[in-house]
Chains A and B, each alone.
Chain A
Amino acid sequence: MSKKFLSGNEAFAEGIRLARPQVISAYPITPQTIVVERLSEMVEDGSLKAEYVHVESEHSAMSCAIGASAAGARAFTATSSQGLLYMAECLYYASGGRFPIVMMNADRSTALPWNIYGDQRDSLSQLDSGWIQAYAENAQEALDLALMSYRIAEDKRVSTPYMANLDGFVLTHTYETVDIPDREQADRFLPPYETDNRIDFESPKNMAFSAGPDTNYIFKYKEHEGVLAARQVITETEKAFAGIFGRKYTGLTENYRTDDADYIIVTLGSIAGLCRETADKLREKGVKAGVVRIRYMRPFPNAEIAEVLRNAKAYAVLEKDISFGNEGTVFTNVNSALKKAGADVKGYNFIGGLGGRNISASDIEKIYNDIANGTESVSFIGIGGGSNGK
């Protein structure tokens, strides 16, 4: 193990180097560019033996990864924002074809107005594409997800592509200390990819076929089962990871001071750190504050969310997303989890950080105050009516 001071993008690239993908298709887009640049340098200097394909668009990047996976290769690509939206058509081919491709997405706002800064509207718009979706908080978790992602995606029970999301700039471009695992340990953790779901002249089969109304829904059912199976496989993978590398992860969610919490913020990505720090400060003042960080949006942590929020007085979902005309998508998912579990807890939705706008410690403290006193069900931080206005 070696320690290095790296950005989130660089840390993710180090994780991918250790995962030994055989094909990398790359089309650069801010703030993802550094990850594919670092990987091209690794291929150039021979420390990563992969076919590096510089494609002409994101649509082609995903198509190339699908082709590689269909040939039985471990494939990687990365994108962000409009790039993710441009490749959206192919996301469904990858998941429907059960190709365990790994993609890093640098979470960035979507046009218009044009903006290159971070929010999560790009990846959250693709929740229904059939991909596993993970959200990292820091550079170490980014590297570790890169390594764990293939083991989860390629598991025969899962066979589903995996999208690892890093908050644009705040995580992709911020440098911090990262432990880089040893090559030998990484190889022990992640064996080479082997699959029957590939083009094979010795054993010819029909791939990427059509299926009519009589059978189509069975394929969709199996896809659903595959993503659901990731729940168990993520747990097993994190256990094996801790056994080899010593770092522990907590499955689909990560709870902080929630055991006796009255007021809980549910969020995802790198804003969680500031939420935890704010919860600590409020605890010193006697407010029982807690934080739930969603690590996986798909499969969704229905049981975990219901369990942790069940005894709270109120909760807030803080997200960098809005489904116009309704509410933030994370909020919709969290509410559904509680409803299904028969839990009745008052919940509020806070939309913040759109287009890279800063979310400050005082914004977060205000969220805790607002949910304790009651507020609008959906609020844009710093805008809008009543007590939430500026």
Chain B
Amino acid sequence: MAGFSKIKEIIWLGRGGQGAFTAAKLLGAAYTINDDGRYALAFPSFGPERRGAPVRAFTKLDTRPVADRSQTEKADYIVILDDTLYSPQLRELLKEDGIMIVNSKKDIDGALTFDAERTASEFRLPTVNSVMLGLLTGLSGIVTAENAVEAIKGYMPQKIQERNINALLRAVQEVAK
């Protein structure tokens, strides 16, 4: 029988190779990792993949199986890994109280910005996806930092785990400040 759905939907924007889909997947894994009463779907915008081309990815989190497998039309969070992909029209994809998080050195009206590249480079990471996942984790509380770390351990290649974990935890700390 139908329960009350508390679905949270996240849209990720990045360019092919920046790891937006990896972040979408890690979030879904983190949410479900040690709780059988939680369900997640994560998927990329479907179709041919090209490095550098804009890509979208989606994470849907709920306390019951997620039935709607279509692309999110109204998100709780939009996370943008590359500020050249930002446009004010993206607000139409946000719920009224939705939040947009952008990796940018500049301020953007109506969005939270953070220089994720600087943090990533401190940890010798070529991509900002784990920093952005850390920011979302810290801001939203939809997953705990511990579960996000567990997801990295479970789904990233071993040799890059530690740097990504440290970058994620740094981002969580930055939000706490």
A interface list, Cβ under 8 A from B: 3-5, 30-31, 116-117, 138, 169-171, 173-177, 270-271, 273-274, 276-277, 280, 283, 356, 358-361
Q: Given that A273-B65, A276-B67 are contacting pairs, would A173 and B40 also be in contact in the complex, using a CB cutoff of 8 Å?
A: no
- The smallest beta-carbon distance between B66 and chain A, in angstroms, is 8
User: Inside 8 A of B151's CB, which chain A residues have their CB?
Assistant: 5
Residues A274 and B47 in contact, CB atoms below 8 Å apart: no
Decide if B28 is an interface residue (CB 8 Å cutoff): yes
Q: Given that A5-B40, A5-B42, A117-B46 are contacting pairs, would A174 and B69 also be in contact in the complex, using a CB cutoff of 8 Å?
A: yes
Residues B70 and A358 in contact, CB atoms below 8 Å apart: yes
User: Inside 8 A of B69's CB, which chain A residues have their CB?
Assistant: 170-171, 174, 270-271, 273-274
A177 vs B33: C-alpha distance in the bound complex, in angstroms?
9
Number of interface residues of B (CB under 8 A): 26
Mask for B144-157, Cβ within 8 A of A = 1, else 0?
Answer: 00000001001100
A61 vs B34: C-alpha distance in the bound complex, in angstroms?
40
Residues B67 and A5 in contact, CB atoms below 8 Å apart: no
Residues A5 and B155 in contact, CB atoms below 8 Å apart: yes
A-B CB contact pairs (8 Å), 7 listed: A4-B154, A5-B28, A5-B42, A5-B151, A117-B46, A176-B41, A177-B39
Which of B40-81 touch A at CB < 8 Å?
A: 40-44, 46-48, 65-71
Mask for B7-45, Cβ within 8 A of A = 1, else 0?
Answer: 000000000000000000100110011001001111110
Closest 9 CB pairs of A and B: A273-B67, A5-B29, A280-B2, A169-B46, A277-B67, A174-B43, A175-B42, A177-B32, A358-B70
User: Inside 8 A of B155's CB, which chain A residues have their CB?
Assistant: 5
A15 vs B66: C-alpha distance in the bound complex, in angstroms?
22
Q: Given that A5-B29, A5-B155, A280-B2 are contacting pairs, would A173 and B43 also be in contact in the complex, using a CB cutoff of 8 Å?
A: yes
User: Inside 8 A of B71's CB, which chain A residues have their CB?
Assistant: 358
Residues A177 and B40 in contact, CB atoms below 8 Å apart: yes
Closest to B5 in A: A277
Closest to A281 in B: B2
Residues B67 and A356 in contact, CB atoms below 8 Å apart: no
User: Inside 8 A of A169's CB, which chain B residues have their CB?
Assistant: 43, 46
Closest to A179 in B: B36
User: Inside 8 A of A276's CB, which chain B residues have their CB?
Assistant: 67
A138 vs B67: C-alpha distance in the bound complex, in angstroms?
10
User: Inside 8 A of A356's CB, which chain B residues have their CB?
Assistant: 46
Residues B42 and A277 in contact, CB atoms below 8 Å apart: no
- The smallest beta-carbon distance between B133 and chain A, in angstroms, is 14
- The smallest beta-carbon distance between A31 and chain B, in angstroms, is 8
Q: Given that A5-B42, A274-B69 are contacting pairs, would A175 and B47 also be in contact in the complex, using a CB cutoff of 8 Å?
A: no
A359 vs B67: C-alpha distance in the bound complex, in angstroms?
12
Closest to A270 in B: B69
Interface centre among B25, B33, B69, B154 (most CB of A within 10 A): B69
- The smallest beta-carbon distance between A245 and chain B, in angstroms, is 15
Residues A116 and B40 in contact, CB atoms below 8 Å apart: no
User: Inside 8 A of A31's CB, which chain B residues have their CB?
Assistant: 46
- The smallest beta-carbon distance between B47 and chain A, in angstroms, is 7
User: Inside 8 A of A358's CB, which chain B residues have their CB?
Assistant: 70-71
A311 vs B77: C-alpha distance in the bound complex, in angstroms?
45
A301 vs B13: C-alpha distance in the bound complex, in angstroms?
44
Interface centre among B39, B43, B65 (most CB of A within 10 A): B43
Residues B39 and A176 in contact, CB atoms below 8 Å apart: yes
- The smallest beta-carbon distance between B16 and chain A, in angstroms, is 15
User: Inside 8 A of A173's CB, which chain B residues have their CB?
Assistant: 43-44, 46
A10 vs B60: C-alpha distance in the bound complex, in angstroms?
19
A208 vs B48: C-alpha distance in the bound complex, in angstroms?
41
A171 vs B29: C-alpha distance in the bound complex, in angstroms?
17
Residues A174 and B68 in contact, CB atoms below 8 Å apart: no
- The smallest beta-carbon distance between A141 and chain B, in angstroms, is 12
A173 vs B69: C-alpha distance in the bound complex, in angstroms?
11
Closest to B151 in A: A5
- The smallest beta-carbon distance between A258 and chain B, in angstroms, is 14
- The smallest beta-carbon distance between A352 and chain B, in angstroms, is 12
Residues A116 and B68 in contact, CB atoms below 8 Å apart: no
- The smallest beta-carbon distance between B33 and chain A, in angstroms, is 8
A283 vs B2: C-alpha distance in the bound complex, in angstroms?
10
Partner of B25, one of A5, A116, A270: A5
A277 vs B2: C-alpha distance in the bound complex, in angstroms?
8
Closest to A279 in B: B2
Residues A5 and B46 in contact, CB atoms below 8 Å apart: no
A270 vs B2: C-alpha distance in the bound complex, in angstroms?
18
User: Inside 8 A of B66's CB, which chain A residues have their CB?
Assistant: 176, 273
Residues B25 and A175 in contact, CB atoms below 8 Å apart: yes
Closest to A360 in B: B70
- The smallest beta-carbon distance between B168 and chain A, in angstroms, is 17
- The smallest beta-carbon distance between A2 and chain B, in angstroms, is 10
Closest to A358 in B: B70
User: Inside 8 A of B40's CB, which chain A residues have their CB?
Assistant: 5, 175-177
User: Inside 8 A of A4's CB, which chain B residues have their CB?
Assistant: 154
Residues B28 and A175 in contact, CB atoms below 8 Å apart: yes
A182 vs B69: C-alpha distance in the bound complex, in angstroms?
29
- The smallest beta-carbon distance between A100 and chain B, in angstroms, is 31
A341 vs B118: C-alpha distance in the bound complex, in angstroms?
70
A98 vs B67: C-alpha distance in the bound complex, in angstroms?
38
